[in-house]
Amino acid sequence: MTIAKGDHLPSTTLTMMTDNGPEAVPTDSFFAGKTVALFSVPGAFTPTCSAKHLPGFIDKAQALKDKGVDEIACTAVNDAFVMGAWGKSAGADGKVTMLADGNGDFAKAVGLTMDGSKFGLGTRGQRFSMLVKDGVVAELNVEEPGDFKISSADHMLGQL
């Protein structure tokens, strides 16, 4: 079952790269008491994700925060080392929190997986964005396969 607007995010654990190595990030605590602009990409360092999706949220970070977003986070079915390296190479530090969904548990729990096997990617998270307020989905923008329109930072700014 796919998560919907008004649903509470399921309890799962993501991972964040820190100076001390990978650190577990329980979704219950990460999303509690704040407004989070969360977006998911099929993979770190992939073309659309690196050229448009992540850079858009980095560029619009202050505008999103000015409209009430406390934190911006990116997730992908990649390990914490890859997500950390991608965030550093893209200049995301201090703007976008990079959250690894290494086993795809979060993507499965919200019902937003995709089969990237024909590209050698296996099961991944779909491209989407959501606005989460105190753990509850306030807005959900799921892209059609191959599209990049409604999950962008610009689209989310229009929803705030």
Q: How far apart are CA 140 and CA 143, in angstroms?
A: 10
Catalytic residues: 49
The helices-and-strands tally (H runs, E runs) of the chain is 7, 9
Nearest to 51 by CA among 85, 95, 86: 86
Q: How far apart are CA 147 and CA 142, in angstroms?
A: 10
CA atoms within 13 A on the CB side of 74: 37
In contact, 76 and 43? CB cutoff 8 Å: yes
